[in-house]
Amino acid sequence: MFNSSTWFKEWFNSPYYHKLYFEHDEKEASAFISRLLNKLNPPDNARLLDVACGRGRHSKLLAAHGFDVTGIDLAPASIAIAKAQENSHLHFYEHDMRLPFWINYFDYAFNFFTSFGYFRTEREHYNAIRTIANALKPQGTVVIDFLNVHYAEDHLVHKQEKVIDNVTYYLTKWYDETHFYKKIEIEDEALDAPLEFTERVVKFSLGDFNDMFAYYHLQLKEVYGDYNLHAYDVKTSPRMIMIAEKKS
């Protein structure tokens, strides 16, 4: 039985996590970052925070546009890899988003690829929003890229098998009233025995995020429904990409 309160610490620190999700769609990620920055139009001297940055994939793409970027993540193995790529305008720190980080320092904060919603209690999720809000300067902007619950329910593929670099991933997905779950079984000849992880993500709606934003003086400005930044539709959009501004 998986530990529902800390599963993400082990899974996000695993090299299999990154192989499953991140190593095969760099073009899509780069195009999304370019579109997003074109929409936001940050000034050249803007400071950007990437919350739950993993190995720094999105941080590097942001920094490639010339901005000063700081990435934080709680997975030590991921941050160790990210730190090897640091330079004068790209910085990484091992840090849990539930705990305060720098205060009134950043112009923009980003949370990509549903890197939210995996804590056990409502308070922990509010604490994560608090960290982001407090890290922003007044009138700073936060972007959170989350799944669209209604679309995810309607398009759930219950069983799937993927082979990546001679490693087989067996994916089983389901949901209940409050959460989505995904069991990942990994078979690799290099392993003594198969590995198993179970992801657990809260089914946050746009209204839920609006409540968390409002509590920490963030005002929702725009919502997009996919990585091409088309308008959000509650039934047909695969993503819920929210842009909010910190009130003065």
In a domain, 1, yes or no: no
Residues 134 and 165 in one domain: no
Residues 11 and 25 in one domain: yes
Query: What average pLDDT score do residues 216-232 get?
Result: 98
Task: From residue 184, give the alpha-carbon distance in Å to each of 191, 196, 208.
Answer: 15, 6, 28
Q: Which structural domain, as residue segments, surrounds residue 106? A: 7-147+205-246
- Which of the four pLDDT bands, split at 50, 70 and 90, describes residue 5? low
Residues 193 and 222 in one domain: no
pLDDT of residue 3: 45
pLDDT one-digit tens code per residue, 60-70:
999 999 999 99
Residues 93 and 192 in one domain: no
Give the total number of structural domains in the chain.
2
In a domain, 93, yes or no: yes
Residues 63 and 129 in one domain: yes
pLDDT one-digit tens code per residue, 87-145:
999 999 999 999 999 999 999 999 999 999 999 999 999 999 999 999 999 999 999 99
pLDDT one-digit tens code per residue, 28-43:
899 999 999 999 999 9
**pTM of the predicted protein model:** 0.92
Residues 191 and 236 in one domain: no
Of the candidates 38, 31, 42, the one whose C-alpha atom is nearest the C-alpha of residue 141 is: 42
In a domain, 2, yes or no: no
As a whole number of angstroms, the distance between CA 31 and CA 228 comes to: 8
Residues 212 and 161 in one domain: no
pLDDT of residue 24: 57
Pairing state of beta strands 47-51 and 68-73? Answer: parallel
Helix (H, G, I), strand (E, B) or coil at 180: strand
pLDDT one-digit tens code per residue, 228-245:
999 999 999 999 999 999
As a whole number of angstroms, the distance between CA 226 and CA 231 comes to: 8
Residues 22 and 84 in one domain: yes
211 Cβ neighbours under 8 A, 6+ residues apart: none
Residues 16 and 45 in one domain: yes
Residues 209 and 193 in one domain: no
The residue written with tokens 């995020």 in the block is 209
As a whole number of angstroms, the distance between CA 204 and CA 116 comes to: 10
102 Cβ neighbours under 8 A, 6+ residues apart: 70, 135
pLDDT one-digit tens code per residue, 164-202:
999 999 999 999 999 999 999 999 999 999 999 999 999
**CA 117 to chain CA centroid, nearest Å:** 9
Pairing state of beta strands 159-164 and 90-94? Answer: unpaired
Residues 117 and 236 in one domain: yes
